[in-house]
């Protein structure tokens, strides 16, 4: 059942010019006693969404440090992903009627994936609810694969999680040795795992984030019929209700009344574990109607990392989320020195300094007002973008994320206590 993901190699030393030699040397020091350790990351999809993007870089960098790191993806049919999407939505606060059939579907596919887990690892990192039940089933069977240190990595904002859903998931999470959350406010009551706080991060050297030539930038815009000499705003996120794509269209229309030449680009990567994506794509297209200045695109239109890189260089980038575990796209846009107007939710305020690197908003009207302000004051937009790049350099690059994982592994192996920066605040 489990599918191994092939990855291109990456070299940690390539990041020296970005983060400095001292940061690289510290990472190598932390990795030395872990050399040769078998590490497995398990998640639901090899593409689409921030988890897959992070693992594409994190796993090769672990290998470069001498860890025997792998990435595998769970398998499941549409019925499994419909259930796990419902779990995801419920953990973010949506009311879901949890049925015995949903329980049966999740456990059936979890069992099939556990059947395929026939090796042992020093560290296993299971990302989000989809693989969260595997260790419990392995322990019940006294299977060797249940050994080693297991970590549940939750990328979801659990602040308003539906109680019934969390209570069903909690016994499985309690079988882990460690649990990683993006923010201390997301931590739920559970027994067993040691809790760590680790915000996600972006890869500054990925095709999505490296600097682009002006020629490449203009060619991408021209290919998708976006005029480079007219202002445009962009939101790059999954098409789902939590990203409020229809609210983005409404904010654009308010601003367009003042700036008639304004264009809107909305992009998503359609992942196979997100059955809602097509439904929301159709809703957005219907709301756009015959406004040919609205461009609704996805990876199925040929939009890849280079194209996203270009469109994240919009005059203003929007992330109008209603719930957001973190929202890597905010750091990605700031890294490209673009100001961001984003929802005041989840992990977004961790990344965005109000009034310095962009604006936090609570509704469509505020979003439109802030976008209009930045479009009318390009000098302010440039200042905010420049400040945003340095803020991300200090806090949200993949090298910091790699260092945090190494420190967690060292703690779980008993080599040293976790540094205070990785621990949840005292209640």
Q: Does any domain span residue 375?
A: yes
Q: Does any domain span residue 329?
A: yes
Q: Does any domain span residue 209?
A: no
Same domain (yes/no): 390, 407? no
Same domain (yes/no): 193, 256? no
Same domain (yes/no): 229, 372? yes
Same domain (yes/no): 388, 403? no
The Cα–Cα gap between 127 and 130 comes to: 7
Instruction: Please say if the pLDDT value at position 219 is more than 90.
Output: yes
The Cα–Cα gap between 181 and 156 comes to: 8
Instruction: Please say if the pLDDT value at position 300 is more than 90.
Output: no
The Cα–Cα gap between 25 and 183 comes to: 27
Same domain (yes/no): 83, 99? yes
Q: Answer with the residue of higher pLDDT: 279 or 402.
A: 402
Q: Which of 104-108, 298-302, 362-366, 389-393 has the lowest mean pLDDT?
A: 298-302
pLDDT in tens, 233-256: 999 998 888 899 999 999 999 999
Q: Give the chain's domain count.
A: 2
Which residues lie across from 265 on neighbouring strands?
234, 295
Residue 153, CB-side half-sphere exposure with 13 Å CA sphere: 23
Owner of token pair 């406010």: 185
Q: Does any domain span residue 10?
A: yes
Same domain (yes/no): 161, 69? yes
Note down the domain range covering 20.
3-201+398-422
Q: Does any domain span residue 354?
A: yes
Residue 6, CB-side half-sphere exposure with 13 Å CA sphere: 0
Using a 10 angstrom Cβ sphere, with 0-12 exposed, 13-18 middle and 19 or more buried, the burial of residue 234 is buried
Instruction: Please say if the pLDDT value at position 315 is more than 60.
Output: yes
Looking at residue 7, the DSSP 8-state letter turns out to be: -
Which residues lie across from 296 on neighbouring strands?
266
Q: Does any domain span residue 151?
A: yes
Q: Does any domain span residue 53?
A: yes
Tell me what pLDDT residue 273 has.
Answer: 54
Same domain (yes/no): 182, 101? yes
Which residues lie across from 268 on neighbouring strands?
298
Same domain (yes/no): 377, 415? no
pLDDT band at 427 (very low <50, low <70, confident <90, very high): very low
Tell me what pLDDT residue 426 has.
Answer: 40
Tell me what pLDDT residue 280 has.
Answer: 86
The Cα–Cα gap between 278 and 81 comes to: 14
DSSP assignment string, 328-385: HHHHHHHHTT--EEEES-TTHHHH--BTTTEEEESSHHHHHHHHHHHHH-HHHHHHHH
pTM of the model: 0.91
Same domain (yes/no): 354, 283? yes
Instruction: Please say if the pLDDT value at position 354 is more than 90.
Output: yes
CATH number of the domain within which 184 lies:
3.40.50.2000
Instruction: Please say if the pLDDT value at position 271 is more than 80.
Output: no
Instruction: Please say if the pLDDT value at position 127 is more than 60.
Output: yes
Q: Does any domain span residue 208?
A: no
Same domain (yes/no): 100, 194? yes
Tell me what pLDDT residue 272 has.
Answer: 55
The Cα–Cα gap between 222 and 361 comes to: 31
Contact 200, 155 (CB under 8 A): yes
The answer for 9, left when phi > 0, alpha when psi is -120 to 50, beta otherwise, is beta
Same domain (yes/no): 388, 404? no
Same domain (yes/no): 164, 84? yes
């Amino acid at each position: 059942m489990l599918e191994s993901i092939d990855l291109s190699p990456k070299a940690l030393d390539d990041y020296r010019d970005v983060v400095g030699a001292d940061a690289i040397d510290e990472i190598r020091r932390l990795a030395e006693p872990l050399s040769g350790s078998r590490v497995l990351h398990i998640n639901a999809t090899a593409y689409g969404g921030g988890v897959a993007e992070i693992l594409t870089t994190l796993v090769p960098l672990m290998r470069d440090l001498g860890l025997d790191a792998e990435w595998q993806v769970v398998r499941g049919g549409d019925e499994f992903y419909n259930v796990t999407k419902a779990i995801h939505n419920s953990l973010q606060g949506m009311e879901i009627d949890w049925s015995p059939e949903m329980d049966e579907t999740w456990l059936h596919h979890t069992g099939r994936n556990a059947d395929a887990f026939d090796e042992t690892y020093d560290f296993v990192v299971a990302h989000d609810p989809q693989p969260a039940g595997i260790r419990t089933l392995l322990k019940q069977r006294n299977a060797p694969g249940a050994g080693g240190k297991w970590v549940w990595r939750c990328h979801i904002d659990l602040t308003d999680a539906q109680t019934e859903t969390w209570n069903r998931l909690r016994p499985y999470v309690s079988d882990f040795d460690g649990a990683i959350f993006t923010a201390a406010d997301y931590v739920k009551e559970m027994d067993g795992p040691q809790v760590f706080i680790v915000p996600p991060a972006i890869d500054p050297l990925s095709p999505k984030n490296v600097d682009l030539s002006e020629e490449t930038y203009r060619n991408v815009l021209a290919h998708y019929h976006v005029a480079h000499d007219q202002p445009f705003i962009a939101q790059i996120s999954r098409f789902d209700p939590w990203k409020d794509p229809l609210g983005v269209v409404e904010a654009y229309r308010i601003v367009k009344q003042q700036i008639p030449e304004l264009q809107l680009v909305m992009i998503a990567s359609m992942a196979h574990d997100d059955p809602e994506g097509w439904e929301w794509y159709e809703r957005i297209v219907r709301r756009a109607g015959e406004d040919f200045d609205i461009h609704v695109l996805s990876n199925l239109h040929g939009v890849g990392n280079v194209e996203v890189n270009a469109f994240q260089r919009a005059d203003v980038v929007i992330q109008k989320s209603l719930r957001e575990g973190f929202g890597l796209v905010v750091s990605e846009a700031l890294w490209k020195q673009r100001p961001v107007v984003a929802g005041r939710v989840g992990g977004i305020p961790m990344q965005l300094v109000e009034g310095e690197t962009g604006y936090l908003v609570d509704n469509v009207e505020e979003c439109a007002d802030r976008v209009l302000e930045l479009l009318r004051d390009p000098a302010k937009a440039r200042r905010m973008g420049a400040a945003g790049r340095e803020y991300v350099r200090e806090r949200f690059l993949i090298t910091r994320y790699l260092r945090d994982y190494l420190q967690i592994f060292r703690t779980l192996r008993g080599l040293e206590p976790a540094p205070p920066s990785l621990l949840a605040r005292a209640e």
